[in-house]
Amino acid sequence: MSQWEYAPAPESAEIANLKQRYRPFIGGEFVDGSGEPIRTVNPATGEVLAEVGTASESDVDNAVRSARRAYERTWRKLPGAERAKYVFRIARLIQERARELAVLETLDNGKPISQSRDADVPGAAAHFFYHAGWADKLEYAGLGPDPRPLGVAGQVIPWNFPLLMLAWKVAPALATGNTVVLKPAETTPLSALVFAEICLQAELPDGVVNIVPGGDDVGAAVVAHPDVGKVAFTGSTEVGKRIQRSLAGTGKRLTLELGGKAANVVFDDAPLDQAVEGIVNGIFYNQGHVCCAGSRLLVQESIAEELLDRLRARIETLRLGDPLDKNTDIGAINSAEQLARINELVAAGEAEGARRWSSPCPLPERGFFFPPTVFSEVEQSMRIAREEIFGPVLSVLTFRTPTEAVAKANNTRYGLSAGIWTEKGSRILWLAQRMRAGVVWANTFNRFDPAAPFGGYRESGFGREGGRIGLEAYLHV
């Protein structure tokens, strides 16, 4: 009688209103792109969801031209309060279509519906609401008396939070008076194209937002276009470096939000049950496809064993499977390529002598899945301690003193985020000052708010998104 299994609680895929074909959005209309069409796949089943037309270099040129035209003729001339109306309208439309967007995002990305429903979509709406509020108050943002927009923003976003990353990029750009050419990730273009429908619904002037799906070449064309005044990129460090190289000397403004290998530092006086939750949330949220994921757990040696026992017991309760099931905690890995990369790094971890433990949870027969995995006995010199895995794989290291914790936490080429778990307030402040990371969370992890700036140090990139300071990236000040 005590074997209590939750019955399946699937959300209906119908709600996504999937269409067979999606097309690029340029100059206020959906057009046939002249690039090679791509097929976007449901990573939980391997089935093709839809065919998506892609942009070629000439389409990108058209998109930038129409963005430029919209910028010159209408958008930059609008008073801030008028721009705000459009941005508010977009925010409300995202809320109205929240359920559709959440299901679509889960189908295309593989993330659990509970996360797309409770975090991605509300988060996206919140970013538009927040930035809409700034549109008529830019002179009072403390960035100078007369901040002016930069022109056309070329934006390239990743596949881990397709709609949310779009919101992080598009909302501040529009609110500050810029127009946009955005390239969504090759494997997750759908929510961006539904967002284009929302722009139409909001009666946004033609050309203010343009969406150009495609692969790396399309992204490169957006970035390289001479009429783009500002480039914003979120994605891998490797591509980020390429972009920075290509933009050197062009005078274009650039922000990069790249990879990470965040340290989650747990002291022996930490609130253990909450630390376990925080570790789980830090690395297994969104299947670990999070640039600021707490992928390196640094535990004080005196509690390492106890903490790991509790952590494994907790991980065994994580439910992996159909992302559309409302009770799923861990969904699908976004693509076969990504799964292969995770497998490669996990094999490296085993070869290097770290001890692997994976949850015994059953894996679905179809689709791309990887069980939540913990490596203990990891040393700083191992690849799994240094390279970003971008999957549900945690590397556990230990430390003896706070100074050693700082040294190990900072011993990385990245610097996006960090976590501190201790009941001692003075230690939180001491450690936070010494962490070379853009965000330091204390007794929590992966908390976001549009008003809180986010961004990195070193190979995690530069520039901040969100908050008052995030506006600066889109303004001449």
Partner 1 sequence: MATATLPAELAEATRDEQSLRRFLHGLPGVDHVGLEQRAASLATRSIKNTAKLWAIDAAIAMIDLTTLEGADTRGRVRALAAKARQPDPGYPDTPRVAAVCVYPDLVETATRALRGSGIEVASVATAFPSGRSGRDVKLAEVSLAVSCGATEVDMVIDRGAFLEGRYGAVFDEIVAVKAACGNARLKVILETGELGTYDNVRRASWLALLAGGDFVKTSTGKITPAATLPVTHVLLQAVRDFHEATGEQRGVKPAGGIRTTKEAIRYLVAVREVAGEGWLVPALFRFGASSLLNDLLLQRRTRLEGHYSSPDHLALD
List, by residue number, the catalytic residues: 257
Select from 416, 455, 166, 111 the least CA-distant residue to 292. Answer: 416
Tokens of 393: 């794989």
Shortest distance (Å) from residue 423 CB to partner 1? 4
Is the CB of 238 or the CB of 316 nearer to partner 1?
A: 316
Residue 91's φ and ψ, nearest 5 degrees, are -60, -45
Q: Tell me which residue has tokens 């903490």.
A: 307
282 to 321: interface string for partner 1, x by CB under 8 A: -----------------------------------x----
Angle at 388 between CA 387 and CA 390, to 5 degrees: 150
User: Environment class of residue 381 by beta-carbon count within 10 Å: exposed (0-12), middle (13-18) or buried (19+)?
Assistant: exposed
Pairwise CA distance, residues 453 & 462, whole Å: 12
Is the CB of 59 or the CB of 322 nearer to partner 1?
A: 322
Tokens of 236: 């891998």
Is the CB of 4 or the CB of 381 nearer to partner 1?
A: 4
Q: Per CB under 8 A, does 426 bind partner 1?
A: no
- Among positions 435-454, residues that touch partner 1 (CB under 8 A) are 443-444
465 near 473, Cβ under 8 Å? yes
In order, the DSSP letters of 47-76 are -EEEEE----HHHHHHHHHHHHHHHHHTGG
What sign results for the dihedral spanned by CA atoms 52, 58, 62, 63? positive
Pairwise CA distance, residues 206 & 287, whole Å: 37
Is the CB of 6 or the CB of 12 nearer to partner 1?
A: 6
Shortest distance (Å) from residue 121 CB to partner 1? 15
318 to 357: interface string for partner 1, x by CB under 8 A: --------xx------------------------------
User: Contacting partner 1 (CB under 8 A), which of 56, 109, 114, 300?
Assistant: 114
453 near 407, Cβ under 8 Å? no
115 to 154: interface string for partner 1, x by CB under 8 A: ---x------------------------------------
156: enclosing H helix or E strand: strand 152-156
Q: Per CB under 8 A, does 9 bind partner 1?
A: yes
Tokens of 324: 């559309």
Is the CB of 271 or the CB of 371 nearer to partner 1?
A: 271
Stretch that binds partner 1, among 2-10, 137-145, 165-173, 431-439 (CB under 8 A): 2-10
User: Contacting partner 1 (CB under 8 A), which of 58, 274, 380, 403?
Assistant: 274
Shortest distance (Å) from residue 378 CB to partner 1? 24
284 near 330, Cβ under 8 Å? yes
Contact positions toward partner 1, by CB under 8 A?
1-7, 9, 114, 118, 269-274, 277-278, 317, 326-327, 423, 443-444
